[in-house]
Amino acid sequence: MKEKPVIYLNHRQSKQGDVCVLFFKQNEALTRRIQQNGWIRWNSSLNAFTVASNEKTVGHLIDIFDDIAEVNISYYHARLKENTEHVVIGDTHYFTGILEKTDKLGSITLVPHKNESERFIVISFKTNKNIYKILTNCQSTYWHKQIRAFVLPPNRSVIIRFLEEVTSQLRVKLHNELSIVDYRILQLLFEQAYSKSIYFKSCPIEFLKYMQLKAYSYNTINTYYYYVLRLLNCYRQNSLTQINAFDSDMINDYHQKMIGEKKFSEQTINQSVNAIKLYYKGYLNREMQLEEVVRPRVGKALPKVWSQEEIKRILNSIDNGKHKTILSVIYGSGLRIGEVLKLRIEDVDSKRMRLRILGAKGKKDRYTIIGQYTLELLRQYYKEYKPKKLLFEGQFGGQYSTTSISRILFKAIKKSGVPKRGGVHSLRHSFATHLLESGTDLRYIQELLGHNSSTTTEIYTYVSNKHIEKIKSPIDEFLA
């Protein structure tokens, strides 16, 4: 006897409320039976037939399909299990809706450009009707006939007006050769991702000025700005003056609530502590005991690395000479992604087999090694691409982008079939681990990586297989 088809019932939430969904393999007899019962409706959002969710309709479904199908209700009655969530009973208050991100129609990149007679900023974007329409209606831009693109004059007031017009709909990115030092423009760029209700508070522009005077990098300023912005907008009922008067108990309470939300890592909360300490103690010059701010204990996360054979497979899967050279330099010399982007042609010393790294993390200069394999790739790359100043230049000149390098690596990982063990920084981790496994002294590895403390470098001793592979598991004695 032929088995009946099965209709599985399940609970779902939709625009129509709580519904019972019918899941089944395509079957003409079932479809005809459904068409004969108008109260079973097609739900386009769930892409399935649904009925009202109650015991009466479930019983009716069992009756009308009894002769042609089996109605399975085990998943329908498993609703309690599916919707269980962790709840803490107590006085912990959770901040909700803080810095809500807005959906964007697309992204654009501002690229500085010059020709013989003028300078302007080109608005670069992938073909998109929505973006084209927004830029056409924008009062600050104009169409440049020669280069066939929307452009902006490099004027402070025009750029501010442009950002105020478009950032609610578009994500604005900067080309590496475009440096922004104007505080109001920076403020608009840092806040563009968030919905600005009547309660929204911006960070004081003077805080931006203070961080720039301290010579912090753009990324650090952006990160610290975010954490202070989050603090200000968590207390919607308080004025900026009241928040500026918070004591260490309030800051402790704030971070305790972040810990309670369970979605913030220890490293994230530590960054928040650093940013808020800078705001109160540095910018506001408050005489408060911020040392009392509780810092979460940061666990020791081991770096993820590839084996030498896996690195070889990744590199050999890349056909583009420039792409292969970039990743080879990062791995072969143990560089951070920001360091490879800043390399100049004169930083390559082929006679001494050295790379000079200028202004690395902590504003330190250092030398690291170049492998013979890397040098051969660099020579081939130079002949083909003929870079002018920076060793690796972007599409429009200037620095190559970090996102492009990440895409190169992830594409190579997928093509090579090597397991994904991290991003670009894992190449640097692999460099250090492989040196240690080959017998290189930890002190030399520390110098090549540019670590301040040997403690930072020692983490690779936990990753290395050099000693572990010599240890025999006691269970192997059972084989005797």
Which residue among 175, 342, 434, 451 is the active-site one? 451
Task: Give the mean model confidence (pLDDT) for residues 312-337.
Answer: 94
pLDDT classification of 406: cutoffs 50, 70, 90 = very high
> Percent of the chain, pLDDT > 70?
89
Which residue among 342, 428, 429, 434 is the active-site one? 428
Instruction: Please report the pLDDT score of residue 257 as a whole number.
Output: 82
Instruction: Please report the pLDDT score of residue 89 as a whole number.
Output: 41
- Taking only the tens place, the pLDDT of each residue in 56-80 is 888 888 888 988 999 888 877 765 4
Q: Is 373 a catalytic residue?
A: no
Q: Is 336 a catalytic residue?
A: yes
28 against 363, higher pLDDT = 28
Instruction: Please report the pLDDT score of residue 393 as a whole number.
Output: 85
Instruction: Please report the pLDDT score of residue 94 as a whole number.
Output: 44
Q: Is 425 a catalytic residue?
A: yes
- Going edge to edge, which strands form the sheet with 366-369? 348-349, 354-357, 366-369
CA distance 125 to 170: 11
> Which of these, 359, 382, 357, lies nearest to 367 by C-alpha position?
357
Which residue among 336, 342, 429, 434 is the active-site one? 336
Could you identify the residue written with the tokens 């200037």?
398
459 by Cβ neighbours in 10 Å (0-12 / 13-18 / 19+) ranks as middle
Which residue among 226, 280, 331, 460 is the active-site one? 460
Helical pair 248-260 and 266-277, crossing angle rounded to 10 deg: 160
Which residue among 196, 361, 415, 421 is the active-site one? 361
- Taking only the tens place, the pLDDT of each residue in 286-312 is 877 766 666 666 666 778 889 999 999
Answer yes or no: is pLDDT of 475 > 70. Answer: no
Instruction: Please report the pLDDT score of residue 16 as a whole number.
Output: 67
Answer yes or no: is pLDDT of 91 > 50. Answer: no
Sign of CA dihedral 16, 20, 21, 22: negative
> Is the whole model's pTM more than 0.75, yes or no?
no
What's the number of CA atoms in the CB half-sphere (13 Å) around residue 162? 24
Q: Is 428 a catalytic residue?
A: yes
CA distance 214 to 216: 6
Structure tokens at 240: 């900026």
C-alpha torsion angle, residues 175, 176, 178, 179 (rounded to 10): 140
- Taking only the tens place, the pLDDT of each residue in 98-157 is 788 888 989 999 988 887 778 889 999 888 889 999 999 998 999 988 888 999 998 899
